[in-house]
Chains A and B, each alone.
Chain A
């Protein structure tokens, strides 16, 4: 499988990932722009408003029904960040026409809908519909507030906010409540026009349709932008080392379990030619059920159900998170750091190293069975200015040495410790509940 790139216009590229094993095709249109606090909320709101309705399908019901009619085609919006780049847009999941019971050309029909979502939104007086803008503002604000519902996600985000305060990376892709509140429909309309001038546009197709045909369909989709777009510079300000002594932040939240997040500067980013060495370290330390954290924090000390290390490849951040009894915070933190030190000193067996490599490689090979993962892989690569495939990485990973892992472990530095201290009495169980009366 080889990634094929087709220039659609200046700054607009079609990336074709050939794959013949699926029953559905996937197309996504991604707008890439520097993550900044002025624009994040506008981007977030825009995809929601565009999804509300178009010229031919002016409300969500008619739009949904149109998608239903083409064999339940999925149209979803997305908005996330990679490093200090905000990526937003839409994706289509389409049944292959060979499974249709009639002659419907599902992909062409789906692209007609996507074209209207992108270029012909429902309008009033030449602007975006005020009612759609206002309800989506409220919904977006509700979503921002609802982040607290997921306690582990909340703790991770709070750690990053504190750790990267003052850096673009701390900007939330939804913007803040205040920023969303003050958006006016006219301002959103202006912003809508600007994304077609100032964003890099990366389109992905995963499937086995004829490449020329897909290229033709996408060229047609992008006709309104045939003059091309002005591509912004996209990069992240990477801090390779923590500046100061680690900061500790504790916040009380009504919950039974405490959530501990350790934020590290990882010292490694995907642009580094030796990034795969860091990946092996990360897997060995906190990436699988045979890793150091699982084996020690969970299995040996019985402190938690989960304790993982995740890493952000573009900004150079590693987060270790765990859900623990509130009284065990110091013990868990000490063990998480002790294990990191041990890996840096080379206190791991050759077998553990081999297991980490095999686990990582298995994960890379699994990417080929998931369209979304394939797309995420290559989109990430192009942000880092590379094109290597998962399989090419498998070969490199198997050659990583013990010394290289130790060196990567030593390059990790603790920046911020965030602890969400749960204040709810853990054992107010309402006994087995009452009154079974027939």
Chain B
């Protein structure tokens, strides 16, 4: 039933009651189909190309190309315009799909959700992403729009805090740069540079399609057959600036129109496993540790809350991928330095005592339950899958990996990572302080 040049595989997780089909399409594209009886069918078509890919070449090229910051995001916006002048949203509108796209540090993704006409919409998705069309005029128009997107983020204290923190943690890693770039950097973008980036990164061998919903894999493949041509086999070489293991600087401070001081504490983790499965395991350990040490039932949070030092849950993020790894905890507090001090003394205590094994198991169970919850919607499955896939993992394995993590894994991570030289903090203070 499948065409030549394709590899076909089924993977199932009986506990989650989920499965997917994997097909390597002859065009070079990897296709993943999650059948799921839901109202919404969802498709996401992504390329391994994000804001940190700003210096690269194709194997065999003499020189590296260095591009202005924010170009992956700019390209994402520009893909929605087509040579015939009909923008992509209009094409989708005919079939009632809700379409969008996003750019992160490491990937660009185009997606839609629809409750009917799935294959017609899929045809549009594959078609517009494989047909770039940029002119000096359309680039100029987009500079105005994205400039306002950048201004909006500059006025958002949460966004300022996290990027200040990344700048504090990393001296050279491009994760320190705003994904959308700056008004100045995007002014340097031209149609030619967009084509250059497109031709390198939007090669089907560098991309994947993930669809989830009430979907027939055969029909997905026939859409691929009719829209996609074979991409040449290429090898992309990306320059990653090496960063020091410890933080670049411990503090930064800005003033903005906010009600009270806001902070983000970061813990940089320089121990990133090479292997994708090992990295998933490390991510699992990190998410349990983050929840257990700083979550709503942690001693740390509850003490600070009861003392009136914190008024809301900390916002927690643990990130771990091949290019960067860290924990962050953010919130509002009259005295951020005091929170930071309490954080360091709390960690010293944890390091000397170690984690309680029984409690660890309970937090592990919560994380497994949260993973199950992630399989309730077609959009969270498709997005979660693509992000994990691009980092060498597979979300269908994540619940089992979590289940096998031990308290020793967590204690050893804590001993290695939680030391003063890996800590940084960004603070935004009220302008009228």
Cross-interface CB contact of B151 among A146, A288, A323, cutoff 8 Å: A323
Question: A55 within 8 Å of B by Cβ?
Answer: no
Q: How far is the CA of A242 from the CA of B43 in the complex (A)?
A: 44
Query: Contacting chain A: which of B55-63, B141-149, B407-415?
Result: B141-149
Q: Note all chain B residues with C-beta closer than 8 A to A139.
A: 311-312
Q: How far is the CA of A148 from the CA of B87 in the complex (A)?
A: 36
Chain B contact residues: helix, strand, loop or mixed: mixed
Count of CB-CB pairs between chains A and B under 8 Å:
182
Q: Note all chain A residues with C-beta closer than 8 A to B96.
A: 358-359, 361-362
Q: Note all chain A residues with C-beta closer than 8 A to B370.
A: 72
Question: A387 within 8 Å of B by Cβ?
Answer: no
Question: B113 within 8 Å of A by Cβ?
Answer: yes
Question: B431 within 8 Å of A by Cβ?
Answer: yes
Report B264 CB to chain A, min CB distance, Å: 14
Q: Note all chain B residues with C-beta closer than 8 A to A135.
A: 305-306, 308
Cross-interface CB contact of A72 among B39, B149, B332, B366, cutoff 8 Å: B366
Q: Are A148 and B259 in contact (CB under 8 A)?
A: yes
**Contact size range, B:** 35 or more
Residue with the highest number of chain A CB atoms closer than 10 Å, among B308, B367, B378: B308
Q: Are A368 and B39 in contact (CB under 8 A)?
A: yes
Question: A239 within 8 Å of B by Cβ?
Answer: no
Cross-interface CB contact of B376 among A23, A254, A290, A365, cutoff 8 Å: A23
Q: Are B93 and A358 in contact (CB under 8 A)?
A: yes
Q: Are B89 and A68 in contact (CB under 8 A)?
A: no
Q: Are A298 and B93 in contact (CB under 8 A)?
A: no
Q: Are A289 and B114 in contact (CB under 8 A)?
A: no
Q: Hey, what's the 0/1 contact readout for A354-373 against B, CB within 8 Å counting as 1?
A: 11001101110110111000
Q: Are B182 and A324 in contact (CB under 8 A)?
A: no
Q: How far is the CA of A146 from the CA of B172 in the complex (A)?
A: 34
Q: Are A438 and B171 in contact (CB under 8 A)?
A: yes
Q: Note all chain A residues with C-beta closer than 8 A to B332.
A: 142, 146
Q: How far is the CA of A288 from the CA of B244 in the complex (A)?
A: 45
Q: Note all chain B residues with C-beta closer than 8 A to A60.
A: 296-297, 302, 305-306
CB-based nearest B residue for A144: B259
Q: Are B39 and A355 in contact (CB under 8 A)?
A: no
Q: Are A61 and B299 in contact (CB under 8 A)?
A: yes
CB-based nearest B residue for A294: B89
Q: How far is the CA of A21 from the CA of B376 in the complex (A)?
A: 8
Question: B279 within 8 Å of A by Cβ?
Answer: no
Q: Note all chain B residues with C-beta closer than 8 A to A101.
A: 365
CB-based nearest B residue for A426: B151
Q: Are A256 and B369 in contact (CB under 8 A)?
A: no
16 contacts between A and B (CB under 8 A): A24-B376, A59-B302, A60-B305, A142-B332, A149-B157, A149-B262, A151-B155, A253-B257, A255-B257, A256-B154, A257-B148, A302-B143, A305-B149, A324-B148, A362-B115, A369-B378
